[in-house]
A and B are shown apart, each in its own frame.
Chain A
Amino acid sequence: MFPEILEFGRKGFADELLRGAAITLLIAVSSFIIGLVLGHIGAIAKLYGGPVSRGIAAIYTTVIRAVPELVLILLLFFAGTRGISALGEAVGYGPIDINGVLAAILVLAFVQGAYSTEVIRGAIQAIPVGQLEAARAFGMSPLQVFRRIVLPAMLPNAIPGLANLWMVVIKDTALVSVTGATFELFTATKIAAGFTKRYFLFYFISACIYLAMTLVSNFFIQKLERRLRRGQQELG
């Protein structure tokens, strides 16, 4: 049915590709979540922070969005490890080993954080000021205002932008293959293609796997958005 090279097990590359896809998802999910946390911190710093935190957030989003991810990955993986290891030793953790997966997650999360800062900031600013004033008038603490008003009102606005970022981070994981040390989907594809010399076949298969990841996540994002927008009037 299938040519031997597409079988599972010792003779085929199906299991290698699947393992690569799993690592791709691990990198994408982890960096997206960490990026979301950084994005919230960044957005709050930009909107409510004092001059210092505003400045730091501005530098962060400007610099990170300006430097190509590829450069950041190479910088962290081949040059940054010593700095992080020294930092680890300084706080008594011993040397920290930055493997390919961890370097990928750190870099992509850092990049995602910068972009989601802007998405979340925009979504928060789209909330009518009156709603926040009303919440404050009821005596809610800033944290309560954030949890009860800002978060639920901002999320529907943020979802389309964040969904974009999720698509981008899935594809950005392929950049990590430049280090050759991380067995994500694109590295697995290159190994399979290089070993069998069937370049078109394996690049096509991996394109299909990336497409499948996108289609499946689109389905869930749509469901999530519909739930978050419940009670809202539909346009038209």
Chain B
Amino acid sequence: MNSLYVYLFVALFLFCVGLWGVLHRRSLIAMLISVELMLNAASINFLAFNRFLSPDPAVGQIAVLFIMGTAAAEAAIGLSIILALFRRYQSVEIGKARELKG
């Protein structure tokens, strides 16, 4: 088996774990962590493709740097939303925030 596939499988595993976490964990903190996992999986993909397929080594790394920046911003915003929700519901459970129910 080509070593590229090893990376891709690892990334796939990470992505699936993250997806599962986003869809199933009740806690907003856990969901945020899961999103981070999914972002990491994407980063791994970028690096792997960059390493094995691209002639220019820099492109994938730049993309990964962007992802890390985005993730940091996302974590900051996400945490502040979670904080605001916590103030309102005294809980970080996603099931509590159902006020927009039709």
Partners in one complex: no
